[in-house]
Amino acid sequence: MGCRERAPVTDLLRVVHRSGTLVPDPRRRLPGRGASVHPTPECLHAAERRRAFSRALRLPRGAAVEAGPLRTHVLGASAPGDPGPGRATADERQTALPTDGPATGRSARREQDVVG
């Protein structure tokens, strides 16, 4: 949205409007209309400069939006090689699996599919 480059949806950060504030939605679960932006400071700055958020989120013309939480999320996740907050790397996911006994229930089937 900010840099106008196409990218897979998995590489973009979803943003929603909540009470006058732009809120990052890395899990893509918050209700309402969302807009997608690259999680980079350059793309965020370009989107703010062009006022793209208010158009993409279909906000009333001239509506003021606060990008504080979004800016904090993007600037905190902009380190190279960092998957971003809420996203685990493949190594972290592998070490997060329990190994001390069989699990029960629905999650056990998922873990068996992943591990087995």
Q: Are strands 34-37 and 21-24 parallel, antiparallel or unpaired?
A: unpaired
Sign of CA dihedral 69, 62, 47, 8: positive
CATH of 1-85, one of 2.60.40, 3.40.50, 3.30.460, 3.30.1230: 3.30.1230
Euclidean distance between CA atoms 5 and 3, whole angstroms = 6
pLDDT in tens, 10-58: 999 999 999 999 999 999 999 999 999 999 999 999 999 999 999 999 9
- Domain(s) of CATH 3.30.1230: residues in the chain: 1-85
Q: Is the pTM of this model over 0.75?
A: no
